[in-house]
Structure 1
Amino acid sequence: MRTRQVLSDDEKRSLYDKYGEAGLKGAGMGMGDFSNPFDLFESLFEGMGGVGGMGMGGRSSRNRAVDGQDEYYSLVLNFKEAVFGVEKEIEITRLESCGTCNEISLKVPAGVDSGSRLRVRSEGNAGRRGGSPGDLFVVIQVILDPVLKRDDTNILYTCKVSYMDAILGMTIKVPTVDGMVDLKIPAGTQPNTTLVMAKRGVPVLNKSNMRGDQLVCVQVEIPKQLSSEERKLIEELSDLSKGKTASKFKLRDLYGTSSSSQKLETAKGKVAEICSGR
């Protein structure tokens, strides 16, 4: 009987064809029963999740909480600050319910590098209608050191020594992130030898009790020119190292009748003095 009534009533039939039973419910109550046009609209589409998938959920969607957006900040550190960590006061501009600027204290851990990102939760832009605030992401940029180079957790340094210092060995002062430190150059050090200074590198990020090393590359400087006296002494050293008797410059004339080993050491010392300008 109800179907016949619907089919015989053009207006109800139109509602039935478009909206089914939901349309009949709205039509049966009469337009005068709705004080607000949106009430009729919500009645017709109750449980249908909006019109045509367009996400129109009624007045409730307009009151839904919206989370705040994340904020990004670029922080520049010097080499040592990145190695050992630092605490910085930074001022950020963001959307807040009570203002737009805020200063926060940021603790940067030891071992960060350029490109590292630190996340500070709930320090981003404020949410709307009770939504949660976003997060603050701090992007690190590190100023390069003119002397020390970084390779992950290791620090690289290059030193130059004279060829006599490489032959005889010596102790030199080397710059590190901990300050100047003594480094022993062993006798007979070859060009481009790498010496390891253990635990003088960068702390491992989030594991500050672990550190990398400082690697020192030793470059041996060979003089391009020699004085006549330097040349004679070096030739004599060459002869002694080969077990030969000097012909042009007799060691016994300078050092008496010392043994061969004593002559060699004395000659080395003499060469070192001449080469160092003493």
Structure 2
Amino acid sequence: MADHYEVLGVSREATTDEIKKAYRRLARELHPDVNPGAEASERFKEVTHAYDVLSDAKQRQQYDLGGSGGMGGGFGGFGDIFDTFFGGQQQRGPKSRRERGQDALLRVEVDLAEVIFGTHRDLEVDTAVLCGTCQGSCCQPGTSPVTCDICRGTGSIQRAVRSLLGNVMTSTPCGTCRGYGTVIPHPCVTCQGQGRVRDRRTVPVDIPAGVDTGLRLQMPGSGEIGPAGGPHGDLYLEIKVRSDERFSRNGDDLLCTLDVPMTDAILGVTTTIHALDGDVDVELKPGVQSNEVLTVKGRGVTKLRGNGRGDLRIGVQVVTPTRLDHREKELIKAFAAGRDQKSTQLGSFQQGLFAKLRDRFLS
């Protein structure tokens, strides 16, 4: 890498004014408008970067101490200095009227039951669509754009501007054609020369199984059409899963609570649960306790990524009767008297019991 001082042709003790004068002299000689050669262009960049470093007190100090002088980021200051002296990068040729359409975001609500296997929606979207009259040409049928008389189709106007380096040529977008190089003498009356109109259209959407609240699905090319019939943007769907009164979700598992009468808990029973995807037969063994969790494999939510389904996890809640008639009370007393059972007392601490409770009520 050449030494910055050598590039500008100054000594290391050069003042700021001397550095500036050296840069102006070299820039006039090497500027692309004066010297269009490839070698001169590379030399011009090198000179500009050297000036960018040495004209800044902090960067010059760092460079003198052996630092990179801003070289780590490439010609980082070239763009700023070029903008200052030459009005920014020049536009190359006219720009196209066709532009990409904007993306759109829709929020879609689905039931928990629809999440298990996925669902389909036909969404009504208010968006920009292709103009049916001009088909995106922006012109009245039978007419077409004409070349701009001011810029002669280039889309830009060249002007000589005085600067620190003398007279330089700058390029600005043509004010008549707005940089397109053509004008439309007879704009389409339907779309006002935009090539698109606002309308409602139906977008069919297949929502995959396993989605969850907050997930965004991308549908490439389903957003609004661009100006002058440009490419469509994308459509994003943000999912919200409605709460269910009986079931909640923990990852790919479905959770629910089963209220079991005390007598069924004592004797055991086989019962049927009306799950979100059909009936499930559940066997309760005699002596089942509250807070036990029964697992039915493969009856949860279909996995969004991967194969298979989660599980259905059923938390048991033994229901103790609160109102007994005289005969029922006597039967319970006789039952209790016939059992060699100690009075109510503290039992051993069961860590797993609280874990099951936590899992049962996760939503």
Superposition TM-score, scaled by structure 1 size: 0.63
1:223 aligns with 2:231: no
Instruction: Measure, in 2, the Cα distance between the counterparts of 1:124 and 1:153.
Output: 31
Q: Compared with structure 1, are the counterparts of its residues 164 and 24 closer, same or farther at alpha carbon in structure 2 (3 Å cutoff)?
A: closer
Give the whole-Å Cα distance in 2 for the aligned partners of 1:24 and 1:215.
76
Equivalent in 69, 73, 77 of residue 110 of structure 2:
77
Provide closer, same or farther for how the CA distance between residues 224 and 103 of structure 1 changes in structure 2, counting only shifts above 3 A.
closer
C-alpha RMSD of matched pairs (Å): 3.2
Query: Which has the larger displacement, 125-134 or 226-235?
Result: 125-134
Deviation at 1:18?
11
Partner of 2:28: 20
TM (normalized to structure 2)?
Answer: 0.50
Number of residue pairs matched? 206
| Unpaired segments ≥5 residues, structure 2 | 1-23, 36-77, 132-196, 342-363
- Within 2, Cα distance between the matches of 1:242 and 1:153? 45
After superposition, give the CA deviation of every residue in 1:227-257 in whole Å (9 maximum; x if it has no partner): 33323322332333329xxxxxxxxxxxxxx
Matched, 1:89 2:122: yes
8 A contact 2:112–2:242 mirrored in 1? yes
Change (3 A) 1:23 1:123: closer
Query: Does the aligned pair in 2 maintain the 1:63–1:129 contact within 8 Å?
Result: no
Q: 2:113, 2:277 within 8 Å by CA — same for their partners in 1?
A: no
Show the counterpart of 2:310: 212
| SS of match in other structure, 1:90 | strand
Residue correspondence of structure 1 range 98-247 to structure 2 within 5 A:
98=131, 99-101=197-199, 102-128=201-227, 132-207=231-306, 209-242=307-340
Q: Distance in 2 between matches of 1:202 and 1:24?
A: 67
* Deviation digits for residues 151-179 of structure 1 (CA, Å, limit 9, x no counterpart): 22111111212211111111222121122
Q: Is the 8 A contact 1:121 1:134 kept in 2?
A: yes
- In structure 2, the CA distance between the partners of 1:129 and 1:229, relative to structure 1 (3 Å rule), is closer
AA of the residue aligned to 1:85: G
**Secondary structure, aligned partner of 1:210:** coil
Note if contact 2:130-2:229 (Cα within 8 Å) is conserved in structure 1.
no
8 Å CA contact retained: 1:88, 1:107: yes
**SS of alignment partner, residue 264 of structure 2:** helix
Partner of 1:260: none
How do residues 19-98 of structure 1 correspond to structure 2 at under 5 angstroms? 20-21=28-29, 51-52=83-84, 55-58=88-91, 60=93, 62-63=95-96, 66-98=99-131
2-side partners of 1:219 and 1:153: how far apart?
Answer: 23
Q: Distance in 2 between matches of 1:227 and 1:25?
A: 110
**Per-residue CA shift, 1:93-134, capped at 9, x if unaligned?**
333443434322111111112212111112223345786432
1:109–1:206 contact (8 Å) kept in structure 2:
no
CA–CA separation in structure 1 for the residues paired with 2:87 and 2:330? 96
CA distance in 2, matches of 1:95, 1:130: 10
Q: Percent identity?
A: 32
1:25–1:113 distance in 2 versus 1, CA, 3 Å: closer
Instruction: Measure, in 2, the Cα distance between the counterparts of 1:112 and 1:100.
Output: 31
Give the number of the structure whose alpha-carbon radius of gyration is greater.
Answer: 1
Contact 1:177 1:200 in 2 (8 A): no
As a proportion of its length, which structure holds more helix? Answer: 1
Distance 1:186 1:228 in 2: 29
